[in-house]
Structure 1
Amino acid sequence: MTEAEDQGEQPTPPEHQTRTGRTATGARKAAAKNPRSRAREFALQALYQHLVGGNEATAIDAFTRDLSGFHKADAVHYDALLHGCIAEAAELDALMAPLLDRTMERISPIERAVLWIGIYEMRHCLDVPWRVVLNECIELAKEFGGTDGHKYVNGILNGLAPTLRGTEVASDRSRKPRA
């Protein structure tokens, strides 16, 4: 028994915590993330190792699979993103190049990896709606990138969406009235 209960007082209940699924910075809490979102996070970290360290995909893959929480990620989606983005790096860069306002070398490795993930998913993961790809990449850039990196990612992926998912984008935009 606590001292308060011993004296006949009711214990004070703990403060209620809100469960919004967001941290103080606005990023999604780990518990609120689905397996594909987690796969994107691990793929981003792996692609960063590739871009910055020049590490090979197999070594990065082995390292990443040993990280805490990997078992909660969609391993198949992670594999597709990591190996697909590295295999198609030149094509992904070529697709984004016309929309860039700076040289490829001046883009943060985080934003570049997020763009690779977004472009790769728009090209190959047709089961994921284009707006979901866009939102997931913006969230990655907010959580891991620079202050306004998410705005840059949004601009590039929004610019590529009509080329990569033309029918889906046109259909989606025609249903939403403009204010």
Structure 2
Amino acid sequence: MIVISDTSPINNLAAIGYLHLLQEIYETVMIPEAVYRELTDPEFPVAGATEVQTLDWINTCACRDLSLVEALCNELDRGEAEAIALTLQFQADVLLIDERQGRLVADKLHIYYTGILGILVEAKKQSLITTVKPLLDDLIDKAGFWIASPLYNKVLQLVEENE
């Protein structure tokens, strides 16, 4: 399975101590150079910086279609643009992306994607975690990840943790 990730899933899972879920679900994850730079910028330290530099299951790859990246940069930030371009370049099975605009562009390009909430649902489905709710709460409280209340409740319903 070929998996490409944008910055958000790596950063947010690292922030709550659950980055290992990506390896357990997907084995290997590829990131574009722009995502690597976003995560490792010394001027703006973030969760996941050390991991993308040291974990052997996260691989950084260059995008070949720079004209596509530049065109996508009209709508997206560089990391999202390169993640989408890399997904097309490798005909990846899944793109890990959370940002709304990036998802809209992925939809237009017929790219299958999921985000951090889908990753948590899949992790529970595979019995890699026992409950999703504490991780959702950690994403909100520790990582500053915003989840609308209806979506929060929908995820809990999906994993049968609704009260």
Common fold, TM-score beyond 0.5? no
Query: Which structure is richer in relative contact order (CA contacts within 8 A, separation 6 or more)?
Result: 2
More strand by share: 2
Structure of higher CA gyration radius: 1
More helix by share: 1
